[in-house]
Chains A and B, each alone.
Chain A
Amino acid sequence: MIAEAGLALLWIAAALSLLQLILAWAGLRSGGEALLKLVRPVAVGQGLAVGLAFTALIWLFLRTDLSVQLVAANSHSMKPWLYKFAGAWGNHEGSMLLWVTVLAVAGGAVALFERRLRQDTLTATLAAQAAIGLGFYAFLLFASNPFTRLSPVPIEGNGLNPLLQDPGLAFHPPTLYFGYVGISIAFSFAVGALVTRDVGPAFARAMRPWVLIAWIFLTLGITAGSYWAYYELGWGGWWFWDPVENASLMPWLAATALLHSVTVLATRAGLRAWTIMLAVVAFSMSMIGTFLVRSGILTSVHAFAVDPLRGSFILALLGFYIGGALLLFALRVRHVKEGATFELVSREAALVANNLLLSVILALVFIGTLYPLVTQAFGHEISVGPPWFNGVAGPIALVLVAIMAIGPMLRWRGDRLGALAGRIAVPALLVAVALLAVAVFVPAIRLLPALGLAIAPAIAVASLAPLWGRNLRRTPLFIWGMVIAHLGIAVSLAGMAAESAFTTETLVAARPGQTVRAGPFSVRFQGIAPLAGPNWTAIEASLEARRGGTAYALRPQARLFSSPPTPTSEAAIQTVWDGQLYVAIGEADAQGRWQLRLWWKPLVTWIWLGGAMIALGGLLALIGRVRRERRARPEEALA
């Protein structure tokens, strides 16, 4: 019954989204208050219905109801409960249901909490959100139904891909989707504002918290995904420029640009058309990403077996929505007023530069990711890898972070170049010193990591500059947010540069009792022992790593999962204050030697620490903005 109820709820949600679209349309045309008043509760109802449908799917997975095809194909009664729970979205249909759930819940949240937007704009926004929903409900109901029954009922399920049986599955996809799909709100706001010609500072202030929320989740999702791939895949990389990774990076780049341009719109009424365009682009990138991931059209290290027909459905959907939004933009852009002007040296100019550079990086990542599809059409199969991406995007990213450091020091409208020179003297000196230090102590270093190491400390110092001379306790929370997010970029950059410059790798075939060297550690391979888990057996190596007087125990495993029968390797990672020691175990040879791969990765943890700081900065900015609005509103009511 639960499966049927879930399916019924999905149909109800689809019907409600159609109703939402019709009500909003009719209400906007006639201006009838009664119709407009109904749109909010319908949107909330839609969010509830699909939320319940998703809960039904989780329930089916928790109970391992094998009469449901999706459960039988992807779950197993012997699986730990966490993976039964998270396994609900560890497959195509479930993850698409999660996608739609986030879409509808985000729409419901806007209907519940958004009070600043003009009513007609809000109605048009909810209409756009409903229109997106409709297409994806159709995709779920006609091409990816998660609730299909199976007959005869199998005795046991196929189990979940062991690589997914990790706490990362419980955290990474939902967070990423909240960001990925949450950015649809920005898209719908943009469409709404174009429809009602309401592009202005008040609109920007209303949109900003929603963009921030999505951006925080997206940042967390990417950071978590990077760390998950790093420890789970067992080859110690944290970013591969893989199509699936780029699919999440592209919306982030667009959302980051949007976050900054919306501030210009809110504060100085500038960058109007541009902000609208970015909001459209950001969600377009999410949809393109969904297509790339779900169609399996590009070779990816993170890809799972997929059905190519579904790709065409998503492609048609995204073509329709992106095309529609761009058409609306083209028709309405002449009604969008120009913003206030600014000078070449000003906060606005720095933010424009930020937007331009982010757009350029986005364009490069986009062509690098999709170029193989184009050449395929002409019969050439190529792949574009890290050397290209690092080569073209790396230098631009460094210029971008340099501008990020300078921007907050500039005044709005216009500033004097002389005053700026005084403010950046200390960071500039730091860059020179660091560059000299890098050149002297590590002359063999490659250019990009060298530049990264050289500018990271200066960026860190410069990002603290907005706090200079302020009473720290009275500094608004959103300033703290900016400072911490920018500091996070510096921390992340330092981690990336240090990891790429100083990682050492040791690959050996060792006998028990042998000692090998890995960076500053001497690692003794003590032995091998068998081990059994809830649904796997493993061979576990025990190693003792020593540096100075301290010893650390490491236990990498080679696991064999029973259902489906799949080998996986579980790396052992020892985190110390200045980096991580990473050990993976391979196969044994006829002479009783075991393959061991050891990495010493200095400061690698800073990469994700920085990511977490960026998200935290976003959270502080969000709280600060919402609080200020709260405080401001009673005064507005009085005035």
Chain B
Amino acid sequence: MKAKNQRLILLLLALGAVLGAVILGMSAMRDQASFFYAPGDVATKGRPAPDRAVRIGGMVKQGSINRHGDGVTIDFLVGDQTPHTIRVFYTGLTPDLFRENSGVIAEGRFRADGAFVASEILAKHDENYMPPELTRRGIHKTESLE
């Protein structure tokens, strides 16, 4: 085989492999990417199907954290600039920077009754860090009075 032909074959092979993988990957993305919802979005766009993994985010409402009898489950309200809220249930240790009046992003699924069951609450490294999803919605770190 001539060197030129072999190079052409290799090039086509490379393009085909990468393109094929990207197409397959994109189609898989349709099922597996999780959409982001703030409480206001749920009200306007409607609630996603219960089997769909999504992310929700907003501010943890002041005084809304309830601790359950098992000692490891909590529920709390997440709000945003709109009057809507989402009740979130979570079983596990909360991240260190999880607190009232602070931004939070949780991953999980909605229940049929509208409550959200979080499989994970995203930790953050930095007290001043605000996920871009929240800042774009005008949710900023509230000044604490301490």
A interface list, Cβ under 8 A from B: 161, 163-164, 233-235, 273-274, 296-299, 301-305, 338-342, 352, 356-357, 359-360, 363-364, 367-368, 371-372, 375, 380-385, 387-388, 391-392, 396, 507-509, 564, 566-569, 584, 586-587, 589-591, 593, 595, 597
Contact = CB atoms under 8 A, between A and B. Distances in A.
Contacts of B33: 371-372, 375, 382-384, 388
Contacts of B1: 341
Interface string B76-96: 000000000000000111111
A568 B122 contact: no
A286 B99 CA distance: 35
B91 A360 contact: no
Contact of B17 (A303, A360, A509): A360
Nearest to B5: A341
Nearest to B36: A381
B35 to A, nearest CB: 5
B67 A391 contact: no
Interface in B1-38: 1-4, 6-7, 10, 13-14, 17-18, 21-22, 24-26, 28-29, 32-36
Contacts of B94: 586-587
Contacts of A382: 33-36
B91 to A, nearest CB: 7
Given A341-B3, A380-B35, A384-B34, 12 more contacts: A234-B93, A302-B125, A338-B3, A338-B4, A360-B21, A372-B33, A385-B32, A387-B53, A391-B32, A509-B70, A566-B96, A586-B93
A447 B93 CA distance: 29
B125 A163 contact: yes
A506 to B, nearest CB: 10
Interface of B: 1-4, 6-7, 10, 13-14, 17-18, 21-22, 24-26, 28-29, 32-36, 53, 55, 67, 70-72, 91-97, 105, 107, 122-133, 136
A472 B70 CA distance: 60
A161 B17 CA distance: 44
A360 B18 contact: yes
Contacts, number: 150
A339 B130 contact: no
B93 A305 contact: no
Contact of B132 (A297, A388, A509): A297
B36 A303 contact: no
Contacts of B131: 299
Contacts of A380: 35
Contacts of A564: 127
B18 A363 contact: yes
B72 A507 contact: yes
Contacts of A356: 13-14, 17
A584 B96 CA distance: 11
Q: What are the nearest 5 A-B pairs in CB distance?
A: A509-B71, A338-B3, A381-B36, A586-B93, A305-B128
A363 B22 contact: yes
A566 B127 CA distance: 8
Contacts of B72: 507-509, 586, 595
A278 B126 CA distance: 35
A359 B72 CA distance: 44
13 contacts: A161-B127, A304-B129, A305-B129, A339-B7, A341-B6, A357-B17, A359-B17, A371-B29, A375-B33, A509-B71, A509-B72, A566-B97, A593-B71
B35 A381 contact: yes
A564 B71 CA distance: 29
Nearest to A359: B18
Contacts of A371: 26, 29, 33
Contacts of A595: 71-72, 93
B6 A301 contact: no
B43 to A, nearest CB: 16
**A contact patch SS:** mixed
A359 B14 contact: yes
Nearest to A382: B33
A352 B10 contact: yes
A388 B129 contact: no
Given A296-B132, A341-B3, A597-B92, A301 B32 contact: no
B123 A364 contact: no
A349 to B, nearest CB: 10
A392 B92 CA distance: 29
A164 B126 CA distance: 10
B126 to A, nearest CB: 4
B125 A384 contact: no
B21 A364 contact: yes
Given A384-B29, A384-B32, A387-B32, A338 B7 contact: yes
A383 B125 contact: no
A161 B22 contact: no
A361 to B, nearest CB: 8
Contacts of B71: 508-509, 589, 591, 593, 595
B9 to A, nearest CB: 10
A474 to B, nearest CB: 35
Contacts of A509: 70-72
A536 B70 CA distance: 30
Contacts of A163: 125-126
Contacts of B4: 338
Contacts of A360: 17-18, 21
Contacts of B36: 381-383
A253 to B, nearest CB: 13
Contact of B126 (A305, A364, A388, A391): A305
A233 B32 contact: no
Contacts of A568: 96
A52 B38 CA distance: 48
Contacts of A233: 123
Contacts of A235: 93, 95, 123
A587 B21 CA distance: 45
Contact of A367 (B22, B32, B70, B128): B22
Contact of B130 (A297, A305, A357, A375): A305
Nearest to B128: A305
Nearest to B10: A352
A509 B91 CA distance: 11
A382 B56 CA distance: 10
Contacts of A396: 21
Contacts of A299: 105, 122, 131-133
Contacts of A589: 67, 71
Q: Which of B4, B123, B125, B129: most chain A CB closer than 10 A?
A: B125
A386 to B, nearest CB: 10
Nearest to A586: B93
Contacts of B125: 161, 163-164, 301-304
Which of B22, B35, B53, B93 lies at the interface centre, i.e. has the most chain A CB atoms within 10 A of its CB?
Answer: B93
